[in-house]
Structure 1
Amino acid sequence: MGIPLRGGVRRGAMVGLATLSLAGAAALGMVAPATAASHTANPYDPATGHSYRHGVIPTVTQNAKMNQWAGTHDSPTATSANTLSYGGGIGGVGVNDGKSQVYLVFYGTQWGSESTNSAGDATFSGDSDGAAAVTQEMFKGIGTGNELWSADLTQWCDGNGVSSGATSCPATGASYVPYQSGGVLSGVWYDNSGASPSAATGNQLGQEAVKAATHFGNTTAASNRHTYYVILSPHGTNPDNYQGQYCAWHDYTGDSSLTGGAVNSPDGPLAFSNQPYNMDSGSGCGVGFVNSPGTLDGWTMTLGHEWHEMMSDQFPAGGWTNASSGEENSDECAWIAAGQAGGASNVAMGTGTFTEQASWSNDTNACAISHPIVNHGGNTVTVTNPGSQTSTVGTAVSLQVSGS
């Protein structure tokens, strides 16, 4: 029997389900997206009362409580309950429609002493599970080795050619998420200026993203248009009280619903995520979800989950979300067991193999762990220049040229 989802939808063979993601308020001077349809908040949802936790991934146990509550409180919807629609953009931004620039911020002295491995990755003595190096290789690997896990993102768009409430992108006239060829890792910073708080607030995490933007020299809104700051808290900490509730979330500094209000960013709005050292939560955050022992299964899944959602909804909720539940593309496909349709899987990239989850695809009406690259705006024919040619007047000539 399928597990009941919010909105009355049923999805078979799920181990869990992602969460409700509520639209955050826009920053001052920005245009807010269209308001999502009203719905009753699930009291077990980690976003309830914490609406800045966009794309929040509940633990497996918390997710079961959410599903049980939803089964007796939610009502069926009249249309496809999984379809995502465009939120109209915030400050003109709906999706990350350029080359993604991912900056990793290892937050706090608890990461320990830093060194570099043979692949050029930063490693830390306090990282007992080796998460830091795997994180770097994963973001280096996106868009390499012919991986098509990230190609699902190429169906999303923003811009003046996309109307608020649209459920698909036009063939032309919009800005589209391009396939992220060649990796997306743009920088790594160990902020060892002090210890990470034992339980950093959402506001403190946002402030750390602003600090990182300054460190990397991204000091204007234009330079931060396609950036994403992953705030990685060290082992033994409990950022935004995640333990027993959830595994990660993403947001942007202009969201006034952040704990303590919107973060003041002189560098324009910044997309960032809260990435706890969620191996500390064991199987609740995906340890062993696909592989055995699978120590970093849930770690790479949650990293990929939040990056996918940032790409399709950069400043929540101006991008692509579910109008009924507020869920984003990865939320709708979280905790589907390996081997099931749309289930989590190992994804081969040019830098290694990483466990990832699927993301919702409007164009196939399914969760996609692999998706064709969507090209927009028609085809271009390129013909190889044959160079200078000579021939005798009155004599027939045959010349072969190649094109693509």
Structure 2
Amino acid sequence: MRIRPLAALAAVAVAGLSLTVGAQADATTAPAHHGVKPLHAAPLQAAARSTSTLKIGSSATQGVVSPTPKVYLVFWGSQWSSDPAGVATDMQNMFKGLYGSQDTWGTILSQYCEGVAKGTVTCGTSGIHINHPASTPLAGVWFDNAAASPAGSTAAQLGSEAAKAAAHFGNTTQTPNLNAQYVILSPTGTHPDGFPNSGFCAWHDKTSSSYGTLAYTNMPYIPDSGAGACTTFTDGRLLSGIESTETHEYAETVTDFWPSIGWNGGAGEIGDACQNMDAYVTLSTGTFDLQGLWSNSANKCVTKG
């Protein structure tokens, strides 16, 4: 999970001042945050090698990772008729290109698996591995614009929107929802779960529904916080923060699908130890700010697999 103090980011123009949060939320329960931990950019890199090794939290064969990632982008609310930063096009283009040989970032995830003993650090050839997509992981896009999204949606409302999206896309049993992640993108001018005053860039979680357990992300309209928010880059590019944040949440959802039975370490999930590392990566659909991820095999934060 990712949580960053945006006020601090604006003050110092970097995104390395961070908090790690675990949240559990369903459609009927308010979120409970666990293990809140401030991380400062300088000591983070020094500590990463000794504290950030990821271990699998369950021997289960489903819900631990997402072996075949499927991303559903949900642009929630009629307010998406205004998109001053061009987020909708950018998010679609990023996921349309996040596959194949040109995507050397996504291959980091393939070392992780499910179906092995709890506490495993290295999967080797065992277990059910995360597959590097041979085609785009973008499985669907929905502009849910029949009504306005709330000005300040709650975690419960976000979870309900994920369930609504599952129905819209026809994912009405648990089986397709073992790989589907629903990215709930709120429009400009809104404050989902208290963003930005709650101190986070975004978070991911699971929610119970009549279609099974669903994985979803709360993705605010990060460009509202200005260039430099939620990214380490200081070049003034307005979309870098939301790209860095969404790749963080995507990777954490893939490797810790139903938090927190997947891959976690002393610094949190796969993206938490590496929040002060970003790289511009050129895909077939453009160049995007992809956040660094923890690699057990390399024993460090990396931006290439």
Instruction: Give the TM interval when normalised to the shorter protein.
Output: 0.7 to 0.9
Matched with 2:77 is: 108
Matched with 1:236 is: 189
Matched with 1:19 is: 19
Matched with 1:366 is: 300
Shift of 1:90: 6.3
Matched with 2:263 is: 320
Matched with 2:134 is: 181
The alignment of Structure 1 onto Structure 2 pairs a total of residues equal to 284
Provide the C-alpha distance between the structure 1 equivalents of 2:156 and 2:25, rounded to a whole number of angstroms.
14
Match for residue 286 of structure 1 among 222, 230, 250 = 230
Provide the C-alpha distance between the structure 2 equivalents of 1:223 and 1:143, rounded to a whole number of angstroms.
20
Shift of 1:181: 1.9
Matched with 1:310 is: 253
| Alpha carbons 2:58, 2:118 under 8 Å: kept | yes
Shift of 1:21: 3.3
CA deviation profile, 1:40-68 (whole Å, cap 9, x unmatched)? xxxxxxxxx954589x9xxxxxx9xx347
| Alpha carbons 1:82, 1:332 under 8 Å: kept | yes
Matched with 1:97 is: 67
Shift of 1:223: 1.7
Are 1:167 and 2:121 matched, yes or no? Answer: yes
1:122-201 alignment runs, 5 A limit: 126-144=82-100, 146-159=102-115, 162-172=116-126, 174-201=127-154
**Bigger proportion of residues as strand:** 2
**Bigger proportion of residues as helix:** 2
Tell me: higher relative CO, structure 1 or 2? Use CA pairs within 8 A at least 6 residues apart. 2
- Between the aligned residues of both structures, percent identity stands at 39
Q: Would you identify which runs of 4 or more consecutive aligned residues in structure 1 move more than 6 Å? A: none
| Alpha carbons 2:202, 2:249 under 8 Å: kept | yes
Larger radius of gyration: 1
Shift of 1:292: 2.9
Quickly say closer, same or farther: Cα 1:347–1:97, change in 2 above 3 A. same
1:237-316 alignment runs, 5 A limit: 237-244=190-197, 245-254=199-208, 265-283=209-227, 285-286=229-230, 289-290=232-233, 292-316=235-259
Shift of 1:91: 7.6
1:47-86 alignment runs, 5 A limit: 50-51=31-32, 66-67=38-39, 80-86=50-56
Give the gaps of 5 or more residues in structure 2. 1-13
| Alpha carbons 1:26, 1:90 under 8 Å: kept | no
SS of 2:22's partner is coil
Provide the C-alpha distance between the structure 2 equivalents of 1:179 and 1:19, rounded to a whole number of angstroms.
29
Provide the C-alpha distance between the structure 2 equivalents of 1:363 and 1:226, rounded to a whole number of angstroms.
24
Q: Give the aligned residue type for 1:321.
A: N
The TM-score with structure 1 as length reference comes to 0.65
| Alpha carbons 2:181, 2:215 under 8 Å: kept | yes
Provide the C-alpha distance between the structure 2 equivalents of 1:88 and 1:134, rounded to a whole number of angstroms.
35
Provide the C-alpha distance between the structure 2 equivalents of 1:316 and 1:294, rounded to a whole number of angstroms.
32
Shift of 1:368: 0.9
SS of 1:103's partner is strand
| Alpha carbons 1:138, 1:354 under 8 Å: kept | yes
1:343-354 alignment runs, 5 A limit: 343-354=277-288
Give the gaps of 5 or more residues in structure 1. 1-13, 28-48, 57-62, 72-76, 113-125, 255-264, 337-342, 372-404
| Alpha carbons 1:18, 1:332 under 8 Å: kept | no
C-alpha RMSD of matched pairs (Å): 2.7
